[in-house]
Structure 1
Amino acid sequence: MEQLAWLPVHEDLGAALSAARRIADPAERLARAMHLSGFRRDFTATGRIERLAEAGLAAPPAELGLVPLRLAILASHTVDHLVPGIRVAGLHRGLAISVHVAPYGNYRQALLGEDPALAEFAPQLVLLALDAQDSPIALPLGASEADVEQAVAARVAELRHLWRRARERFNAQVVQQLLVATTPPLFGSYEAMVPAAPRTVLERLNAALRHAAREDGVLLLDLAAQMAGQGPADGLADPVRWHQAKQLVSPVMAPLHGDLIARIAGAVLGRARKCLVLDLDNTLWGGVIGDDGIEGIKLGQGNPTGEAFLAVQRYAAQLGQRGIILAVCSKNDMAVAEAVFENHPEMALRRGDIAAFVANWSDKAGNLRQIAKQLNIGLDALVFLDDNPAERDIVRRELPGVAVPELPEDVALYPAWLGAAGYFETVGFTADDAARGRSYALNAARQAALEQTTDLESYLRSLEMVLTARRIGPAELPRATQLINKTNQFNLTTRRYTEAEVQALADDPASLALALRLTDRFGDNGLISVILARPDASLRPGEWLIDTWLMSCRVLGRQVEAATMQVLTTLAAQQGIHALIGEYRPTARNGMVADHYSRLGFKPMAPLPDRPEGTLVWRYETRGATPFVHPIALDLT
């Protein structure tokens, strides 16, 4: 597969970059760089895009929607040539990434000693980019299984200590780069049978790192797996590059390497996509259902083309099982299209797997807007899979926020190209994630029930809702962090935190980190709200700042806000808090909650110091407050 093959090819990227260089305004140059970062590019073009964006990235305009992230790279090999690829890939994924590269080979000193530059940088993400030639485990080839196990355990213990130091000093999310083999096997196919053979030891070490990372909440970057099949030697561990410049990753592969880093960073900050929208004809099956009929389309076993389309469906179904919302957007007759899902015996996807099904003869850009509205998600949450190049081009032009991957001519390669694009990168997997697609489908049933009633209060009582509030612990931490970093509409402050930062606040006995779930007679809505409340230097003792209050738009209109406020005031009173201070920081997307605090009875107060311009501040006295009326049962046990 060609590097970044899922991105479209610009008709003349070089000319576009030359024209953009003549733009004087840094903000406009940055906007142009963001646009050009969405095209297939090599090492040279990537460097030119970074230079185009550089001045604007110093203070990116709010209207561009870039989320800032500070990344520190602590490496045992040369990585400076990879920084432009990381920053440009970040632009493509909506991130303004600042990068600090510690001195070559000084990763231990940076974390165990004093590194004023790193401390001043205060990274949110720390990448430990180590190579197999750094502190290799050197054992005699005849060493026993026990000797290998002991040596591997010692090396992993050292790295775990570094992970802990990064979290303790910076509250940073740590990413550990798995080790890449840099020497050929000594024993050929027999290598795995020799416990102390170098490659066997390396595989043991990587396996132990995977296990330790799961336990410690550390993320992994597996370069060997992600870059496989990308060209000669996969751009990794080229002996010539290594001996000349200690480069583990070739400059040729810098754009892909940057994308691998940026997709992890995006997932940490909740910028991963969460909905796969599928075309039907010649995307999920071969042929046109309206012309060929159910019996005439190509799908299923016994035919190479039919099996390839079945593989596409199976991959989509697996994405649905891990929590990606599935939708359909097709130019088709609705009844005819749905009938395939119900009646074709070889379908791997069924109608119940699809949370939003839109089939008509309108333009697909308009239908994608309808799908996003129906699911209460942003257009930037969508990935649209369509075999038709013209349709892909139209959607990219009309809806630049929607990810539209290029596809090869052979449908057998569709799953590989979609998977390689990394749209659905994640930093965790929970039961709530697995149930997400089903949750959106159940929401359609709730909406249908609402449309059949004329009495909203009776409808809400009939839902038999229960709001469960729990202090954020290990089980809630990954999903709560996801929500903090990806919720934009019902989010009063849109502060973004890493998992380590949320954990630190949850461990603070003077603060409150709360995760709330909502169930009803249709099923479990999952974790739908997060509240972080804490003391603040600008407040008096006995007052809490509501640092973060966010809620899933799926539960809007059910009086969950009032029930949540009752939970918050109850828990605040238990900790001797007599006043809650709420902030509203306006953004381009959270206008729906501008009067949130006033609706709940908060009173306006003077602005707090060192707040962004436009921040509104509200105060609520918990002592003697009137109980909130709502139709929701509360569970605070």
Structure 2
Amino acid sequence: MSTPQLAWLPDPTVATKGHLWDQRLSQAKDAAPDWDTLLDLARYNLNFMRTMKLDRVLTRQFPEPPAHLSVKPVRLALLGSSTINHLIPSLRVAALRHGIWLTVHTGEYGSYRQELGQDDDALKAFAPTLILLLLDARHIAGFLPRNADQAAADTACQEVVERLLPECWREAKSRYGCPVLQTSFLPVFPRLMGSAEALLPSSSANFITRINALLAASCHKHGAIFVDLAAEATRYGLEAWYDPSLWWRAKQEIAPSAAPAFGELVGRSLAALAGRSSKCLVLDLDNTLWGGVIGDDGLDGIELGQGSPLGEAFVALQEFALRLSRRGVVLAVCSKNDEANARLPFQKHPEMILREKDIGCFVANWNDKAENIREIASRLSIGLDSIVFVDDNPFERSRVREALPMVNVPEIPEDPTLVPDAVAAAGYFDLIELSAEDLNRSDQYQANLQRQSLQESATDLGSYLNGLDMTLIYGAFNSTNLSRITQLINKSNQFNLTTRRYSQDDLTALMADDTAFGLWFRLTDRFGDNGLIAVVIGRDAAEGIVDIDTWLMSCRVLGRGVEEATLSVIAAQARARGAIALRGTYLPTLKNSMVADMYSRLGFTLLEDRGIEGKSYILPLTEWMPATTSITLSSEF
């Protein structure tokens, strides 16, 4: 049988840094625990055996999560109706690939209903933060009577998608307080009528097709997280995932050879839940967005557009990039070129799909591409780990991987017709939910570049800020924006005073807690809406103090007085609750040093310095007055 490949990842049999992958793993095995080394080793196209070897090193060196990780550890309960233990190493390694420490508990064979429907001592002791429900197609097809007519088939469909599965999801949430990942079902049944299968109500193959078609909507309705396993089987072919002989001999529906691909599919959902989906697609130009070299071939000589198979393929890649942009992915250009030449096709080529207005950051010069990518991240105020870099040149890909290991650099085929599928297959931009903020992100970054241009032309900072016409809109957490608030809490690392992570269920509970409050903030200005840019959680403490449990902001709005304006809102909320002081905490991580002295800058007094364990500050409110800013406040309470 064929094997689904993680083809966008580098080949482990090609030497990197002078050594083959297996030699590097052997060195890591005998060395002191090093998370970054293991993370680097996970970012290869690993088969089942190499995945197993890496997992053994991982679990021996890191039985507990490393203290320095900014991503919350995941305790995953894997529950199913077939043999699933062989999938565990691939789940852990895929999580590692996305920078997440994962531990896994598996239930008893086929006992998922009992484990979810009643107290299970082992599962309760494990205390999962996430449950993955992996049910096999034959188990699901068992709800369809063999002699079903259309009415019976319809009833069986509803039984699965509106009773069985939602009951499991509700029980998981109520009993263990965690969300559920729900996979779709592999199409393992032979067809009885071929293309006319849908005409046979008792067809198991058609029943699974119908269930899969209804499942995503049911997950969205009932609060489960959909993982489309069936779509992966369609992409690679069923034989890549399912071996009938292994099913009948061992009840393994997912073959061991497909376990790394399954782990990666789940790993993407873990990354999306943790806010680690990529935000920016950085594109090379020559032989990536068009055929040929613009500086040598000129505008008429590059291969692009109708009448040429390769020219049409380059158009297709641009169309793919533009659709990503419309979905909220920021596009950037990183090219070794004279800038005027590089911009020419965007300005004048009639077949060009992408135009200058679609590019959030355009960098074309003869500098090292790794340094240019750093510049792009700086201009856009995003982390390097949220960038995907696509370049046809294997040297440039290797250079960026070595210099910037946190940047995602997919291997792409030499044939440009295959590039969009290769980038899409990597799943860098996968999301759990799509919010209005996501859809508007590209426009927000374009507007931010206009703000930078205004700042450069302003004679002083004060006139620049006054010219922005800023309004800070704020309100209490509500169901409308709770998913976006959750997204921000779980992905913000740099301007984040405590880096505490909360699920949407945690925040729903907070909304009903009289001893706490949650605030969201949006910033608008003359260039548009910056979107949801800050989140604050306050909690009542003893002696008239309100603790600032969480304070995070988008880095793209820093330096405009937003911190001071936000503090004035927090102070007003605390005073309204009868508080006489605010207490702030700074918990240092590897990424939030930029806010290490923020409370001091805002007038707080240091209470306690615990070194690497953090600092606490106090701000008496009896005589405190808010700072003057260029920002107008607007409440939506």
TM-score, normalization by structure 1: 0.94
- The answer on 1:446 being equivalent to 2:451 is yes
CA distance in 1 between counterparts of 2:222 and 2:515 reads: 25
Distance in 1 between the 2:105 and 2:581 partners? Answer: 41
1:359-370 pair list within 5 angstroms: 359-370=364-375
Answering whether residue 18 of structure 2 is matched by residue 16 of structure 1, we say no
Amino acid at match of 2:377: A
For 2:218, the equivalent position in structure 1 comes to 212
Distance in structure 2 (CA, Å) of the matches to 1:184 and 1:509: 57
User: Offset at 1:284?
Assistant: 0.4
CA contact (8 A) 2:70 2:589 kept: no
8 Å CA contact 2:144–2:153 kept in 1: the answer is no
CA deviation string 1:187-225 (max 9, x = no partner): 211111234422222232223322121123321111121
C-alpha separation in 1, matches of 2:153 and 2:514? 43
SS in 1 for 2:139: coil
Post-superposition Cα deviations, 1:260-297, rounded to whole Å, max 9, x if no partner, equal 11111011011121111000000000110011111111
**Residue 216 of structure 1 aligns to which amino acid in structure 2?**
H
- On the 8 A contact 2:588/2:612 being kept in 1, the answer is no
1:49 correspondence with 2:48 = no
| 8 Å contact from structure 1 (residues 514, 530) kept in 2 | yes
Within 5 Å, which residues of 2 pair with 1:457-606? 457-535=462-540, 539-540=541-542, 542-606=544-608
- Please give the alpha-carbon distance, in whole angstroms, between the structure 1 residues aligned to 2:154 and 2:635: 46
Q: Is the contact between residue 602 and residue 619 of structure 1 (CA under 8 Å) also seen in structure 2?
A: yes
Provide the rounded CA distance (Å) in 2 between the counterparts of 1:114 and 1:94: 32
Residues 133 and 231 from structure 1, CA distance in 2 versus in 1: closer, same or farther, beyond 3 angstroms?
closer
| Counterpart in the other structure of 2:198 | 192
What letter is aligned with 1:19?
A: Q
Q: Tell me the distance in 2 between the aligned counterparts of 1:214 and 1:191.
A: 28
Q: Structure 2 CA distance, aligned partners of 1:419 and 1:598?
A: 45
Matched AA of 1:180: L
Stretches of 4+ moved more than 6 A in 1? none
162-171 or 525-534, which deviates more: 162-171
Q: Is the 8 A contact 1:173 1:499 kept in 2?
A: no
1:541 & 1:130 partners in 2: Cα distance? 52
Matched, 1:174 2:180: yes
SS state at 1:77 partner: coil
Counterparts of 2:415 and 2:258, CA distance in 1 = 25
Alignment partner of 1:319: what SS? Answer: helix
Which has the larger displacement, 571-580 or 104-113? 571-580
Structure 2 match to 1:380: 385
How far the C-alpha of 1:542 sits from its partner, in A, is 4.4
Write out per-residue CA displacement over residues 530-587 of structure 1, whole angstroms, 9 at most, x where no aligned residue: 112224xxx4164332221100011001111111112222223333444332110011
Distance verdict in 2 for CA 1:633–1:3, change over 3 Å: same
Query: What are the Cα deviations for residues 164-209 of structure 1, in whole angstroms up to 9, with x where unaligned?
Result: 2222333322211112222112221111123442222223222332
Contact 1:172 1:501 in 2 (8 A): no
Structure 2 vs 1, CA of residues 577 and 140 (structure 1 numbering), >3 Å: closer, same or farther?
Answer: farther
Q: 1:635 matched to which residue of 2?
A: 634
Q: In structure 1, give the amino acid aligned to 2:234.
A: A
Going from structure 1 to structure 2, the CA distance change for 1:494 and 1:612 (only over 3 Å counts) comes to farther
CA distance in 2, matches of 1:507, 1:284: 51
* More divergent stretch after superposition (214-223 vs 317-326): 214-223
User: Structure 1 residues 211, 533: CA separation in 2 closer, same or farther (over 3 Å shift)?
Assistant: same
2:145 matched to which residue of 1? Answer: 139
Deviation at 1:138, TM superposition (A): 2.0
Query: How far apart are the structure 2 equivalents of 1:65 and 1:549?
Result: 15
Unaligned runs of 5+ in 1: none
| Kept in 1: contact 2:70–2:499 (CA 8 A) | no
Tell me which residue corresponds to 1:80. 85
Deviation string 1:46-83 (CA, Å, 9 cap, x unpaired) is 01001112233224444566652211111111111111
Deviation at 1:160, TM superposition (A): 1.2
Q: Distance in 2 between matches of 1:505 and 1:107?
A: 30
Deviation track 1:135-186 (CA, whole Å, cap 9, x = no partner) reads: 5222354513x43333322322232122122223333222111122221122
Separation of aligned partners in 2, 1:629 and 1:35:
47
2: CA distance between counterparts of 1:543 and 1:465?
31
Alignment of 1:305-344 (within 5 A): 305-344=310-349
> 2:74–2:103: 8 Å Cα contact kept in structure 1?
yes
Partners of 1:241 and 1:248 within 8 A in 2:
yes
Q: Which residue of structure 2 aligns with residue 247 of structure 1?
A: 252
Q: Go from structure 1 to structure 2 and tell me whether the alpha carbon gap of 1:72 and 1:2 turns closer, same or farther (over 3 Å shift).
A: closer
Does residue 230 of the first structure (1) align with residue 226 of the second (2)?
A: no
Task: Give 2:616's aligned residue.
Answer: 617
Q: What's 1:3 paired with?
A: 5
Question: What one-letter code is carried by the residue in structure 2 that aligns with 1:204?
Answer: R
Distance in 2 between residues matched to 1:56 and 1:199, nearest whole Å? 45
Distance 1:68 1:243 in 2: 36
With normalisation by structure 2, the TM-score equals 0.94
Asked if the contact 1:8–1:38 (Cα under 8 Å) also holds between the matched residues in 2, the reply is: yes
Q: Deviations over 1:378-422 (max 9, x none)?
A: 111111000001111111111111111101121111011101111
Equivalent pair of 1:148/1:195 in contact (CA under 8 Å): yes
Q: 1:244 to 1:111 in 2, by over 3 A?
A: same
Give ranges in structure 2 of 5+ residues lacking alignment: 15-19
Assess if the C-alpha contact under 8 Å between 2:4 and 2:261 holds in 1: no
> Distance between the aligned counterparts of 2:250 and 2:579, measured in 1?
59
Pick which of 154-163 and 301-310 moved more: 154-163
Higher alpha-carbon deviation: 264-273 or 578-587: 578-587
Q: Counterparts of 2:574 and 2:214 in 1: how far apart (Å)?
A: 43
* AA in 2 matched with 1:333: D
Aligned equivalents of 1:612, 1:257: Cα separation in 2: 42
Whole-Å separation in 2 of the counterparts to 1:137 and 1:598: 63
Cα distance in 1 between the residues matched to 2:153 and 2:77: 32
